[in-house]
Structure 1
Amino acid sequence: MATDVRNVEEKLDENLLAVLPKGGQVVSVSPSGMSDYVNTYRIEVSMPDGSTLVFFEKEGSGQEGVELMESAFTSETTTYEFIPEHVPRPIAKGTYKSRPDVHFFVAEFFEMIDDDIPRPDSYMSAVAALHMRSMGKSPNGKFGFAVNTRFGNLEQDNSWTDTWEEFWTRQMNDFLEREDAAHEGEYHAELERLRPLFFDKVLPRYLRPLESDGRSVTPCLLHADLWPGNVKYKEDGETVCVYDACAMWGHNEVDLGVFRNPRYPLGKPYLKEYWKQVPISEPEEDVDSRNTLYMLRNQILLSTLYPQDPKLREIVVSNMRLLVEKVEAEELEAANRNMAPIQAHL
């Protein structure tokens, strides 16, 4: 157990000190980063041999705090299992002895370069390593995760599912319902028109072929929130640090949706780098449309988290419309082809 030797009135909680290195002395605690949903801290510990160890702590309260810490600990522990060179080592989760309504998660602290988005080769080497090393290692061969994880403070239903189409359809339905609730039932005529078409036409068109005609989706571990705020260079400027996962076992291409999002300065160079290392799923000709489909997850969740920004909802509608129109154009083309032989004999 560590001791808190700072000259301050409020020392670190006993249960938190118990997960820090034995014999260590806490010499500094300072805020670390920004979060809308939890408090975060950098904890510096001086060791008897003269070395210094640094740890990162998240802290949340109430039942939401329990679930946020469970999401963080389980996501980071599972991700660390496959790419330990890129993920800060998780230490523990727990509850304060002095304040039983406050809960924490602790991991090693990596010093990172905040203002530099990693190059495509550095960024995507970590993503590809996570996917390839975990491919086929879902604990039960299914899609889902051991716990429900969080995107921001939004719970993600990770109930185990046998097929990828079933899993993704359930999540999209859940996310869109919560997006609607976040907008307090505000009626959006175009979204209401597109929603049934999205479920009846778009999802079967782009998900079902992945698991038809002898093809299948092998679950791999997804980070599921790979925006640039969660991928930074370590101090060496070469190796990337990947953190704040809201993990699940699913189709590897889900993690690529964020790279298409114009909200982030990533785009095609990052996708091209990934495809150098990981094969495109069959049918390959659908990959661009699947990329748009998976991008929608991130955009729907952002519209849910920030309903006061109407542009975010319009982006969802625009991309949903794009996919619906693409499928309807294919249907029209197929109908015209079928009619051509009939007309030729009239």
Structure 2
Amino acid sequence: MSQSDCQPINVEDGIPTEMAIDHVVLSELALFRRPLKVVSLGSSAWAQRYRIDVEAQEQAESYFMKISFGDHGREALKGEYEATLAIHSIVGSFTPKPIEWGSFKALSGTHYYLCRFYDFAEHAPKPAEFCQKVAFLHSRSNSPTSKFGFHLVTYNGDLPQENGYTDTWEEFFTIGFRHMVNMNIERGGPWPELEDLDTAMIDKVIPRLLRPMETGGRSIKPSLVHGDLWCGNVAVDSATGRPLIYDPASFYAHNEYELGNWRSERNGFDRSFFDAYHSIIPKTAPTEDYDDRIALYSMRFNLQAAALFPGY
């Protein structure tokens, strides 16, 4: 079917049509070479989101498309695709199966990520079922190198993470922590207090809290983490009632790192989620350091948020 054979595309919600998304979808993606409707789902500083409805033989099919721009946009969507694929290979329907990512030919510097569209319920997932899935991901995943890291850069928003493989969790976390400090200074300008904190954290706090988990006969299994689990990346599929996670910033990590993002009340997880998770996976020894480790992990997530929104 040629473009001239297709019915016009309806771009709803008053979204500007400068991107010519209708032409791009029809001319470049075989999946969408049928009459369809494009509905804006909003945008952020680094991406635009759409629902694309396609006329199928029996009923309409809907897909989710995220569009980003530039080199960072391309790498961010590539990372999202690879991370989601890795998670989906372990926990299946807990995350949408990624369909495709790539760059548009007709729009230079414009890139897309594509997966199935889900209607979300208005309520949050129940702690027991949700944490069972998270724990399954952590316990069943295995780093292909037996090291901490990931095979490519993944992004938190438009913020690249330092994912190079390391032998120890302490080394990986230290590199990542310093990277987040540097991102804050690069994006927000000089920050003397943070620079002083950086030295104290790396020289004293990080070794004190992380090294005991990998010495004295102890070891940590690198677990695949979502890497940005907060209420904005968690939902319930209205059709099945099952929890969903999406928009990952993954790497292989200490499994408890995932919970660091749950510590801040703004992210929507209360104590019941921690309890449900640890009813399946016990706290890592030495357990007396647990609360301080979670606070340390939370600090890195807070640094990520500060770098994403400098000046706030």
Asked if Structure 1 and Structure 2 have the same fold, meaning a TM-score greater than 0.5 normalized by the shorter chain, the answer is yes
Say whether residues 1:202 and 2:205 are aligned partners.
Answer: yes
Say whether residues 1:35 and 2:40 are aligned partners.
Answer: no
CA distance in 1, matches of 2:190, 2:95: 40
Deviations 1:186-206 (A, max 9, x none): 433xx4443322111110111
TM-score w.r.t. the length of structure 1 is 0.81
CA distance in 2, matches of 1:100, 1:129: 40
Say whether residues 1:50 and 2:51 are aligned partners.
Answer: no
Which runs of structure 2 are paired with 1:149-298 in the superposition (5 Å)? Answer: 149-188=154-193, 191-236=194-239, 238-298=241-301
From 117, 128, 146, give the equivalent of 2:124.
Answer: 117
Deviations 1:109-148 (A, max 9, x none): 11112x42222123312211211221xx111111110110
CA distance in 2, matches of 1:210, 1:221: 18
Q: 1:140 to 1:226 in 2, by over 3 A?
A: same
CA distance in 2, matches of 1:267, 1:230: 16
- Conserved 8 A contact 1:89-1:107: yes
TM-score w.r.t. the length of structure 2 is 0.90
Deviation at 1:63, TM superposition (A): 1.0
Aligned AA (2:44):
S
Query: For residue 143 of structure 2, what is the aligned residue in structure 1?
Result: 138
Deviations 1:193-229 (A, max 9, x none): 4332211111011110110011111111010100001
Larger Rg belongs to:
1
CA distance in 1, matches of 2:204, 2:192: 22
Q: 1:265 to 1:96 in 2, by over 3 A?
A: closer
- Conserved 8 A contact 1:2-1:18: no
Structure 2, gaps ≥5 residues long: 10-16
Identity across matched positions, percent = 31
SS in 1 for 2:204: helix
Q: 1:270 to 1:93 in 2, by over 3 A?
A: same
CA distance in 1, matches of 2:253, 2:42: 29
Query: For residue 68 of structure 2, what is the aligned residue in structure 1?
Result: 60
- Conserved 8 A contact 1:59-1:105: yes
Q: 1:237 to 1:81 in 2, by over 3 A?
A: closer
CA distance in 2, matches of 1:20, 1:51: 15
- Conserved 8 A contact 2:28-2:104: no
What's the RMSD between the two structures over aligned residues?
A: 2.1
Deviation at 1:280, TM superposition (A): 1.6
- Single out whichever of 90-99 and 31-40 deviates more from structure 2: 31-40
CA distance in 2, matches of 1:192, 1:43: 46
